[in-house]
Amino acid sequence: MEWSKDYHPKRWKGLGRVNLSFIDWLIVALVLAGMIYSVSMTKGLMKSVTDFLSAGRTAGRYVLSVSSGVAGLGAISIVMFMEMGFVAGFALSWWGLSQGIIILAITMSGWVIYRFRMTRSLTLAQFFEKRYSRNFRIFAGIVAFFAGIINFGIFPAVGAQFFINYCGLPESFLGIPMYPLVMILLLGVALYFVYTGGQIAVIIADFFQGVFVTLVLFGIALFLFFNVSWDQVTESLEQTPLKLAREEIADLRLEDSFEALTEDEQNKKIFDINNKYENSSRINPFKTSHVEDFNFWYFLIGIIGVMYGTLGWQGSQGYNSSAKSAHEAKMGSVLAGFRGLPQGLFMFLVPVLVYVFMNHPDYQSVADSVNSSLAGLSTDTLRSQMRAPFVLSEVLPVGLLGAFAALMLAAFISTHDTYLHSWGSIFIQDVIMPFREKPFDKDTHIKVLRYSIFGVAIFIFLFSLLFSQSQKIALYFAVTAAIFSGGCGAVIIGGLYWDRGTTSAAWTAMVVGAVIGVGGTLVKQVSSDWLADPASYQTMKSILLFLQNINGQEYWGIGMAASSLSYVTVSLAGPEKRMNMDKLLNRGKYSIDGEVKVVNEEPDLGWKIFGMGKEFTKTDKLIYIVNYAWTGMWTIVFIVGTIYNLSNPVSNSSWMAYWKYYIYINIVVCAVIIVWFTLGGFSDLRQMIKSLKSERRDHGDDGWVDNMEEEE
């Protein structure tokens, strides 16, 4: 059935609130109980530091793909993607297809991921000590840790605000403000998961949460898609920009300053307004030059950064070392593209349908109710974040309303247990332990890891409680992230793939990347009024103005190029030292039994050309072939469509027909993927638990690094 203009699923019972029904609360409670039960399965499995940090390196490809996917999604990301999609519409997803061939090449080769797992490092900075030096490990650990927890600090605030506003919670309970209570409850559940079994518990809990989240996202997308007329979608996306243009022109004509202009000047202003909205299409990707912040360049930067930034962010670093082999790590990465399709369908479709509810005249009552509730919220940031959830709470029926709340709960906990584990582990492994003369004993090591994780939880609770989202905090996020991410790509890639890379080069690349990244952020903060004053410092101001005109994307590109160039230059300019790469990567005479499972010693040349080597089974080859076919199909669509659109006008109706077929194709594929990954994940889970129960532990495998030879 399709909703009529008079259809109104429910009435809100409070300003900025929607009260869940008993059935909805029951769904939330059952999902929470299920998550806690899934973690109880891990009791007794965690027997070593490696188990706590990396699940004993026992995770299979499907468990890794599903668990790491939901850990990287998170409640805060769902809110963010719905904000972005509301602004961009369908159109900009077209440019996302341009990334396909690049991501395909990276994932199929196992770029960085395969070699990093071969080092058997438990953290990235441990690899830095093996490859470079202990001092560089400490530096990288400190920078990654502080950048990470500052970034993480605002996560509980966004999650708590969502649940308070969405679930209709009162402002206080027994005289205690609800905001800190919700954060304590949510963080307490995440802490319980991590404390119970470390990365083992994180992976298993995240797997069950990942399956649930994917099912609910897919279900909500289907429900809304089949209950909103496609004609309503088309009308909203086509007519709303024209309506906004007319309203802006009408307001302009009422201004006294407009009347004082000449006729040519008036016509130019009107033309500029019409042109702005004409080139802000949510349907046609070739008319998107003015779509606020999310345009073609947004996606182009994504392409450039994918290769350089692989493994650069450490928020889910436990997953990087949890695979049972380097080949499984690579296969998990390859499968991630398919695993993300159901989530991607929701992020693509639902924000557009939210836009329809907020703009189509048939849903005026929904828009009025949502706008009334948004008006009761305190900040523009919060209003923007809550718009889509409030719309969903207006139109979803009982059951799906609770399922969406449970989905957000699962997404919140999966991100928080993963991030708590990551940043707490990095602090002990890469900041504290390298200063010691000898490693911790096993029991003490696990105890201090738990203390550290608890400390991270206390910090992010206080950070969210005491600080609000503001420009200064956002600036601090950007600066701290730039310090680490600016140069780490060159250091990771050079360390894994080039035996000539030196410790001096690593320091240089990190410093260069940090200076460019931080400098590019801070130069934007210089007062424009001061720069416009010609009375003093003309040369300096000219330089600063030039630097201000370089946009963020260009700074990112400059930073990557400069860091890479400095790494290569310093390495070649210094003494010719060569790293023993076989020892670093545990291959050749240094190979470890069980790390590489050879299926075919001499694979055919045809398979090797397409990245399928001696470890590939028939199933692995089939996965690669399907991946090549899927990505290749959309790449061809993108190339042919782009060439045609650049030489021929294409109507909105043609584009809407394309988007409709695009959605139907993805619905069918997503249904298959959900069944495929759920069955594969449960199979991996059984094998993982069996291995953890039976395998002997090496208690010396705890992240401690003895001196490695730098020269062969």
Average pLDDT in the 231-256 region? 77
Length of the chain: 712
Average pLDDT in the 374-394 region? 81
Structure-token match 């609130």, residue found: 17
**What distances in angstroms separate CA 139 from CA 135, 317, 399, 666, one per listed residue?**
6, 17, 50, 45
Q: Any idea what DSSP says for residue 527?
A: -
Most confident region among 111-125, 283-297, 392-406 by mean pLDDT: 111-125
Average pLDDT in the 10-15 region? 36
Per-residue pLDDT at 296 = 58
Which region among 188-192, 268-272, 274-278, 701-705 has the lowest average model confidence (pLDDT)?
A: 274-278
Using the predicted structure, report yes or no on whether residue 280 has a pLDDT greater than 80.
Answer: no
Percent of all residues in the chain with a pLDDT value above 90, rounded to a whole number: 50
Q: Give the Cα separation of 420 and 284 in Å (integer).
A: 42
Using the predicted structure, report yes or no on whether residue 93 has a pLDDT greater than 80.
Answer: yes
Average pLDDT in the 57-69 region? 95
Which region among 121-130, 448-457, 509-518 has the lowest average model confidence (pLDDT)?
A: 509-518
Query: Are 701 and 50 in contact, with CB atoms under 8 Å apart?
Result: yes
Q: Give the Cα separation of 710 and 612 in Å (integer).
A: 32
Per-residue pLDDT at 348 = 92
In the 3-class helix/strand/coil scheme, how is 290-332 assigned residue by residue? CCCCCCHHHHHHHHHHHHHCCCCCCCCHHHHCCECCHHHHHHH
470 Cβ contact partners less than 8 Å away, ≥ 6 residues apart: none
The pLDDT-based confidence of 19 (bands split at 50, 70, 90) is low
Most confident region among 83-87, 196-200, 602-606 by mean pLDDT: 196-200
- Look at strands 176-177 and 172-173 and give their pairing: antiparallel
472 Cβ contact partners less than 8 Å away, ≥ 6 residues apart: none
Average pLDDT in the 94-119 region? 87
The average confidence (pLDDT) of the chain is 85
In the 3-class helix/strand/coil scheme, how is 233-258 assigned residue by residue? HHHHHHHHHHHHHHHHHHHHHCCHHH
φ and ψ at residue 323, rounded to 5 degrees: -65, 150
The pLDDT-based confidence of 17 (bands split at 50, 70, 90) is very low
For 189-198, write each residue's pLDDT tens digit: 999 999 989 9
Per-residue pLDDT at 45 = 93
Per-residue pLDDT at 535 = 74
Q: Which amino acid is present at 571?
A: S
Question: What 3-state class would DSSP assign to 674?
Answer: helix
Using the predicted structure, report yes or no on whether residue 510 has a pLDDT greater than 70.
Answer: yes
Per-residue pLDDT at 73 = 80
Per-residue pLDDT at 172 = 82
Using the predicted structure, report yes or no on whether residue 550 has a pLDDT greater than 60.
Answer: yes
